[in-house]
Structure 1
Amino acid sequence: MKKHVSIRVQGRVQGVWYRANAEQKARQEGIHGFVQNNPDGSVSIEAEGSPEALDTFLDWCRRGPLLARVDDVQVLEGPLVGYATFEQRR
């Protein structure tokens, strides 16, 4: 059974390879959706996958890559969209 979550990550998460690393981690976990930068400096992620894969991915989102500083992660569950892959958006 798949779940959908909308994630907003705040902190120093732009210009530190957060999106590229999030894409890599999502693909490792079999998660579909996308990651994108927001004008306010945060990052948004739409993710769909098994509850276990999403838990692992969310744990990673709370840490981020080596150069990131994650201050806050907000997660909202929503209806499935049916993404076919995981991609970076601008």
Structure 2
Amino acid sequence: MADFILLMRGDATQPEDAGLWDAYFTRLHASGAFDGGSSIGDGKRFRKGAAASTELTPLAGYIRLHVADLAEAETFLTGNPVYESGGSVEIRELPRD
């Protein structure tokens, strides 16, 4: 088993259906793969030697999954309100160091 994070962007091409979130989280919880998540608020980006910037890629939230592999993590795109509304969802493995 491995840990993955779904990074959801705020770039949907159509409004998200708020009712889809309840169904999606019901599916996540029933799968046993859900390992937390949250919406993400505004912030700043910092880089040594450069001015702080509020120009951030619109990151709207994340969901953490504990699944067998990337292919299984991809199955959780189906029903994700951001993805279903035309928004971007990035899936990244969280390696154990």
Into which bin does the TM-score normalised by the smaller protein fall? Answer: 0.5 to 0.7
- Aligned partner of 1:27 in structure 2 is 29
Identity %: 12
Task: Point out which structure has higher relative CO (alpha carbons under 8 A, 6+ apart).
Answer: 2
Mapping 1:10-89, distance limit 5 Å: 10=9, 11=12, 12-13=15-16, 16-17=18-19, 19-40=21-42, 42-51=60-69, 53-57=72-76, 59-60=77-78, 63-65=79-81, 69-79=85-95
Q: TM-score, normalization: structure 1?
A: 0.58
Q: Where do 5+ consecutive residues of structure 1 fail to align?
A: 81-90
Alignment deviations for residues 19-67 of structure 1 (CA, whole Å, 9 cap, x no partner): 433321212322031121111561211111223642321x32xx524xx
Which of the pair has more CA radius of gyration?
2
Q: TM-score, normalization: structure 2?
A: 0.55
Runs of 4+ in 1 over 6 A off after TM superposition: none
Q: Where do 5+ consecutive residues of structure 2 fail to align?
A: 43-58
- Aligned partner of 1:5 in structure 2 is 4
> Measured at CA, do residues 16 and 77 of structure 1 come closer, stay the same or move farther in structure 2, by a change above 3 Å?
same
* Matched residues, number: 73
Paired residue type of 2:34: H
Cα contact 1:9–1:42 (8 A) shared by 2: yes
Paired residue type of 1:72: S
Q: CA RMSD in A?
A: 2.8
Cα contact 1:9–1:70 (8 A) shared by 2: no
